Chain A
Amino acid sequence: MINIKEMLSSLSSLMSVSGFERYDKDRLLSLISPYFDAYREDAVGNFIFIKKANNEDAPLMLIDTHYDEIGMLVTDIKDNGFLSVTNVGGLDTRIMPAAEVTIYGKEMLFGVVDSTPPHLKDPKASKKLPKVSELLIDTGYTKETLSKIVSIGTPVSFYPRISELEGGYLVGKGLDNKACVAAAVSAIAPLNADSLRYNICLNLSTREEIGLVGGKVGAYHIDPDYAIVLDVNLAAAPDAPKHRTVKPGAGPSVSLSAVTDRALTHHIIDRAKRAEIPYQTVVETVSTGTNADVIALSRCGVPTAVVSVPLKGMHTYTEAVSLDDIEKTARLLREILTSEVPK
C-alpha cells in the first residue's frame, strides 16, 4: 500500500504551475509510473498513465485528476531588483503580502512578497486590496544579477512547505489538486488486472486552472466509455455558508448536477453504501467547475461523475486536507474500479 502522506508531500513539492507542468516531470514519473503498465503524453502535456484489465473488451474508464496548480509569471524585473508578476489561475491578493515564493528561473530562487509595515502606512490610504500587478517580489538580488537568472515569463510558485495540523491534516501548497492525484494513485496501485473491471486511463491533466484545457483534450483522444473526475471541493470553515461547502473529515463528496451522469453517480453512492465508506453529497446545480463540465460533452458524450476531497483554504499556500478523507476517496475509487456499472 502507498503511504499517502509521503506521496502527497512529494507531489506537493513538485512545481506544476499551469503551463509549466513538465518542470518536475522526471520526479513525477518516478513517483507514479511504477504502478502502471504504460505511459504517454499528448499535445497539451497531459500525463496519461494506463493500467489494463485482463479482459481486453472491458470498458475504458478515464480518471481525470488535474495536476497543475495556481501560481504566477514574472512580468518585469524592476530597477531595484524587485519582480512584478501576473497571476496564473485564481490568485487571492488578500493572502499575498509577506508570502514566501519560489522563482523557477535558471536557478531556483527564494523570494518574499513585499509588504509595507503598519508603522509606515498612511492611515488614510486606500484599504482596497492590491491588484496582482501591484505585487512586488523581493529576492535580495540586484537587477543586474537577477536579469541573468530570471526573465519575463519565468514561473513563480508558493514556497513548497508541508506541515501538519492536529487531527491528521496535511497543510501546504498545491494540494488542489495533488490530494486527488494521491488518492487516485493510491487507489489504483494495489489493483491487479484480474480485479479491474475497466481498462484505466489516469489523466494527470494540465492547465485546468486556466480553462479546463487538458481535461478537454484528454477526453477527446482517450475517447472513454466512462469518466470519473477527482477534484477538491470547498470544505466548511467557521465563516463559510453551510449549504455551499462539504464537511472536512466526513469522507469524499459526490456531486449531484445537471452535467453529471445520474446512473453512474447512483452507482458510486451505492458502492459507498455497500462498502460502508462514509460519503457526502453536494449539489452543483448546473455545472461542477471541474473538468467534468467539458469531459461530459466530449464527442458523442461521456457518462461522467465527480468525486471530491474536501479541502480547507483552497488556493492558498496553507491548503489543508484530511489524510483520512484521501484514504476514503481511494477506497471508494477502488470499489468503483472493481465493480460494473449496471446497464
Chain B
Amino acid sequence: MIAVELVKLFRRPRTWVTIALLNALPVLVAVLLALTDLGPRPGEGPAFLSAVLTNGNLYPLAALAIVLPLFLPIAVAVVAGDSVAGEAQGGTLRYLLARPAGRTRLLVAKLVAAFVFVLVAVVVVAAVGYVTGSVLFGVAPTGTTTFSGTTLSSQQIVVRTLLAIGYVTFSMLGVAAFALFFSTLTDSPLGATLGALAVLITSSLLFTLDAASSIAPYLPTRYWLSYVDLFRDPILWRDIVRGVGLQAVYLVVLLGASWANFTTKDVTS
C-alpha cells in the first residue's frame, strides 16, 4: 500500500510543479546575486547568503534558509493536507477503506508518502542549490569561515551540510504531522492545509513576543533555524537537540491523534 501511495504521489504533475516552484525563488536569488555581485552583509538576510558570493558550496544552505520560513512549510502542508481529506473530497476514501488493508495501514501509507515528499523536496532544494551555487559562484579553494571565525575544509562543509539537510527534513515532518492530523478531521484538503499553516503562523508570531517567552520552547517553529548552529565552532548542539526532541513530541502526539480519529470516524465519502 505504501508503494501504491508513493507512485500515486510522484505521478501527479502537481507534486513536481510544487517542487519546481519551491526551487524558483532560490534560483532567482542566485541569478540576481551573480548578476549584481551585491550580497547582504554577514548576519543580514537569510543565513549563509552573505557567504555564497565567495563560496558556492554554501548555496544549498542559503537555499534552505530562503524557503524554510514560508515556501517549504506551505508545500509540505499542501501535500500532507491532501492525504486523507483529498480522498474524502474526491469520494474515493470509502473505496480505499473497502479493501481489507485496514485504516491504520492506509494512514501509515499516507504518512510515509508525506514524509518521502518532505525528504525529496528538501534534497531537491539542496541539490539545485548546490548546482546553482557551484555554477554561478564557484567553489572556494580555501574552505569557508564559520560564524566563530575558524575555517572549515570542504569535507567538513559536506558533512555539516548533510546534517543540516537531515535536520530541516525532520523539522518539516512536524508540519506534515499537523497537516495530516487536520486532514483526518475534515473532508476539505484546503481546510487541512490552512489549519496547518494557521498553527505555524501563530507559532512564528508568538515566538517574536517577549510576553510569550515562557511558551516559546514548545512552539513548533521555535528551533527550525537552529541548523545554522552546525556552522559554529564548536557546534552548538543545544537547540538542535531540543529541535529534534520537540518535533519528535509533536510527531508522536499528532500521529497518535490522527490514528485515534481516523480509525474510529464515520467515513461517508
Same assembly: no
**Chain A residues proximal to chain B, CB less than 8 Å:** none
**Chain B residues proximal to chain A, CB less than 8 Å:** none
